[in-house]
Each structure stands twice: as C-alpha cells, then as structure tokens.
C-alpha cells in the first residue's frame, strides 16, 4: 500500500470518544487562561508595573507556553491522563489564587456581595473572543496532530457516527462565526434585503478562493484525502461559505427572536427525512462517487442543512450574549443561563441518542446540531466563569488590567494606558487575523506532511514538531499584531 493510502486509512473508520471526555476537555483552556491571568497579577504585585509587568518578549513566550503548549500536550502524550492534567491545573490555579489573596492588603479585599455590585466596562464580550480564538487554536493543533500516531484515534473525526473531539471542532467553528456575525451584533442592514444577501455573497469570496486553492493543491500534490469527511471536491472552506450565504438569506426573513425554533425545525425535518427516506443510505453508501458532482460531494452538500441550523442558533445566542451589561451580577446571571441551556441540551441529546440515532458529523443530523450547540455553550460558559474569577482577583489585588478579560470601571483619573499589554497579547493577535491564522495552519500542515514521515514518527519527535509548528504560527500572527497589521483585503 502506498504512503498516501496508508495515511488515508490512518484517519478512516474511527468511532470517536465518549461525551464525558469532550466535556472534560472544556475545562483545560479556561484553567490555562486563569493561570496566565494570575501570573500577570502576581507580576504586577511584585514589580508594581501597570502596563508591562514583564518584558515584551516574556509576555509573548508566556502566552505561547501557558495558553497553547498545554493544549498540544493534552491531546498527545498527556491524553491518557487528561483528568489528572485538569486536576493539576486546578490545584495550580487555586494555589496562585491563595497567593494573590495573601499578598493583598486586607483593607483592599472585598466581599463577594460587594463584588456582585461592581460596575464593569468592556467594548466587546471577552469570553466570546476567547471562545473563538481557542476554537481556532485547537483546530490548528488537531489538523496536523491527527496525522501523527501520538494523537489518540478517538479524538479524530469519526467515520459515520460518534463524538470525536475534531467532530466538535466543526460545529464549534460554525457556532463561533455566528456569534459575531453582523446580524448577531445588531448591525443595521443598509438597503434592500436582497442587497444585503448579495453583499454577504460577495463577502465570502475569500473562503471560496481558499476552498478552491485547497482543492487544486490537494489534487496537484496528490495529497491524502478522507473523502467521507466532505466529499471528493468539497472541503470545510466551501462549507463555511455556503452556510454563511444560506443563513444570510434566511436571516432576512426569519424573526430574530425565534431563530432557534426555525433552526430546530429545519434540523428536525432533515432528521425526519433521513429516517423515512433513502437519503441516509445514499449519504452513507460510498461506492457511487463517480456518478456526478452530487454523488461525489454528498456529505459536504447535505451537511449544510445541519450547519445552517447551528449557525442560526449561534446568531440567537449572539444576540443574547452581546446585550449591554453593566454590573458583575448581570454577567453572572447570563453565564448561569448559558450553563442551564447547555445542561438542557445535553439532556435532549441523551434522549435523541437513545430514541433516534447517535451523533453524526458526516450526516450533520439533529443530534449533531444539539451536541455542537450544547458543548459550545458549555465551553464558552467555562471561559466566562474563568473571566469572572480573574475579575474578582483584579478587584481584590488592585491590578488594573489583564488582557482579553473584563475590566473594572474606573474613574477617569485612575485609568491607565493598557495598549502595551493589548499589543503583546496572543489572544488579541489571533483574534485580529483569525482567517490568516487558520490559513497558515492549513499551509504548514501540508508542508509538514510533505517533509516529515508523520506515521513513522515517535512520540517525542511528533510532539516536538507540533510544538514548533504552533510556535511558528503564533509568533507570525503575534508579530503582525505588534506591527498593527490586519491582513484583510476583502
């Protein structure tokens, strides 16, 4: 068997992992974010610096080592002890929190009740940015790591049914895009509705161009393909573009307050069609690829229905999350509502998997829609709780600012220039050039596969390559952010 066939077989016929392991992984990034924030607060307390408690290079390396490298290690050499990794990070966080409290003047420490009344200022919702950035970072790690034996097969995309970590990445990416779309941010639609749809069609041309570029490069380089993911010619860039176009058209006619109802109606009708017609057999059958374009790319085309449903629900939650809030108690109430919605959706998911069918990213069925939204809400809520913990620590310690987190309202004379830390923040850097970061990850994944024998690599070499790959990706967007460059030409 040729090397290409070996690599294709390596990522095929997989069944995923349990829901509980995906849920457990939701705590990893929030804990890393908390630890990074606590370290900056301790540096502020020790050095007394307001804008740059650490030298610039130290800030860059701190973000990469604390926010990114643990994610690489947790899905490779530490994947078998993930629960121990989570507990260890939780103990480190608790230790740093106690250290901060002990280092704080007793007179400056505030009670929890007074904290709830604290006014908060923010131009954006920080944990939404965190959610989008960490989904992008985890996707970048996974698309290369999956080609190495050190990456657990249970984390890779499933063949037909199952809940792999990378399966969640697909739904989370769509949900993350919906959270900040113009409709979710309540941007006024100028001109006619048809004009707005036309504008959105034009705006997705970079995704179509990237999808076409990926298609040509894969075919010309004879790169390995797992055709049951999206099809022979289809890829995720095309899915993102088509979902945006279809959703934009629907959003011009659907009432914004009932988007979730229509989303569940669409995915429910699609599920009913799967169960009562030959559509499911058509999508699962894999020996008819040469008939026509529809047969060749049936997974990518029909999965648009489920992904549009995820997008519409994402817009609904974006409208809720982006509402202005001015006090800590309002933010906590919103986070509790998101956690409740996540818990409710998981209850519905268990019922669907018992009485309907299991989750299927390939079919983008109703259970996949429910799982993607429920798990996205859980992950985003965990990041929001982490942000609240940091805000409490900032208030009690007197630290004025931790980048990419909520800020306390201060009197005009107490405000400080925070552009220094903003300019050195990796989260801000990835957020500034998200599409470029994703594109870089795809290009470097292809180059790495051409240069490195991924299947024959041992654990140490595989992890070293992955760490270097993520370090280069992060530093490139970091440098662009420091220079104030946003790569956007559309």
pLDDT at 272: 96
d(CA 381, CA 376): 8
Per the listing, tokens 């009344």 go with 117
**Coarse DSSP helix, strand, coil percentages of the chain, rounded to the nearest 5 percent:** 70, 0, 30
pLDDT beneath 50: ranges in the chain: 413-414
- Euclidean distance between CA atoms 302 and 322, whole angstroms: 31
Please report the pLDDT score of residue 43 as a whole number.
Answer: 85
Residue 316's closest CA among 422, 189, 175? Answer: 175
Backbone angles phi, psi at 17, to 5 degrees: -125, 180
Task: State residue 38's pLDDT score.
Answer: 94
Give residues with Cβ within 8 angstroms of 76, minimum separation 6. Answer: 145, 148, 150, 151, 459, 462, 463, 466
Cβ neighbourhood burial of 260 (10 Å; 0-12, 13-18, 19+) = middle
Q: Give residues with Cβ within 8 angstroms of 87, minimum separation 6.
A: none
Which 3 state secondary structure label does DSSP give 137? helix
Contact 150, 11 (CB under 8 A): no
Distance, CA of 35 to CA of 390 (rounded, Å) = 9
The confidence score (pLDDT) of residue 111 equals 60
pLDDT at 461: 96
């Amino acid at each position: 068997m040729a090397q290409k066939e070996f690599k294709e077989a390596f990522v095929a016929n997989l069944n995923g992992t349990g829901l509980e392991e995906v849920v457990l992984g939701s705590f990893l990034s929030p804990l890393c974010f908390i630890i990074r924030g606590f370290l900056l607060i301790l540096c502020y307390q020790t050095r007394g610096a307001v804008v740059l408690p650490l030298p610039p290079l130290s800030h860059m390396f701190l973000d990469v080592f604390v926010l990114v490298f643990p994610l690489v290690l947790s899905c490779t050499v530490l994947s078998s002890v993930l629960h121990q990794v989570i507990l260890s990070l939780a103990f480190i966080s608790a230790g740093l929190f106690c250290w901060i409290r002990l280092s704080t003047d007793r007179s400056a420490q505030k009670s929890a009740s007074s904290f709830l009344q604290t006014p908060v200022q923010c131009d954006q919702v920080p944990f939404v940015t965190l959610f989008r950035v960490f989904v992008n970072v985890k996707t970048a790690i996974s698309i290369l790591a999956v080609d190495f034996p050190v990456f657990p097969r249970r984390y890779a995309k499933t063949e037909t049914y199952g809940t792999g970590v990378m399966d969640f990445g697909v739904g989370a990416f769509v949900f993350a895009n919906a959270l900040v779309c113009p409709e979710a941010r309540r941007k006024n639609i100028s001109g006619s509705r048809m004009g707005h749809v036309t504008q959105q069609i034009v705006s997705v041309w970079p995704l179509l161009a990237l999808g076409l570029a990926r298609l040509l490069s894969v075919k010309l380089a004879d790169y390995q393909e797992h055709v049951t993911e999206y099809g022979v010619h289809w890829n995720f860039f095309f899915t993102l573009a088509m979902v945006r176009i279809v959703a934009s058209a629907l959003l011009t006619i659907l009432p914004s307050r009932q988007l979730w109802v229509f989303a569940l109606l669409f995915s429910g009708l699609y599920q009913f069609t799967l169960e009562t017609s030959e559509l499911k057999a058509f999508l699962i059958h894999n020996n008819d690829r040469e008939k026509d374009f529809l047969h060749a790319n049936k997974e990518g085309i029909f999965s648009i229905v489920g992904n549009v449903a995820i997008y519409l629900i994402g817009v609904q939650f974006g409208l809720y999350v982006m509402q202005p809030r001015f006090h800590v108690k309002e933010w906590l109430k919103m986070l509790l509502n998101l956690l409740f919605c996540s818990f409710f959706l998981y209850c519905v998911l268990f019922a669907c998997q018992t009485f309907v069918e299991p989750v299927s990213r390939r079919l983008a069925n109703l259970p996949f829609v429910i799982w993607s939204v429920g798990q996205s809400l859980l992950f985003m809520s965990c990041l929001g709780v982490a942000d609240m913990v940091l805000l409490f620590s900032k208030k009690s310690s007197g630290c004025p600012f931790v980048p990419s987190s909520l800020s306390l309202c201060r009197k005009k004379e107490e405000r400080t220039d925070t552009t220094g830390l903003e300019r050195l923040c990796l989260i801000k850097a990835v957020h500034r050039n998200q599409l470029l970061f994703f594109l870089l990850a795809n290009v470097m994944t292809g180059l790495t596969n051409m240069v490195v024998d991924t299947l024959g690599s041992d654990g140490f070499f595989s992890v070293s390559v992955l760490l270097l790959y993520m370090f280069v990706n992060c530093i490139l967007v970091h440098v662009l952010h420091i220079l104030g460059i946003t790569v956007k030409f559309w």
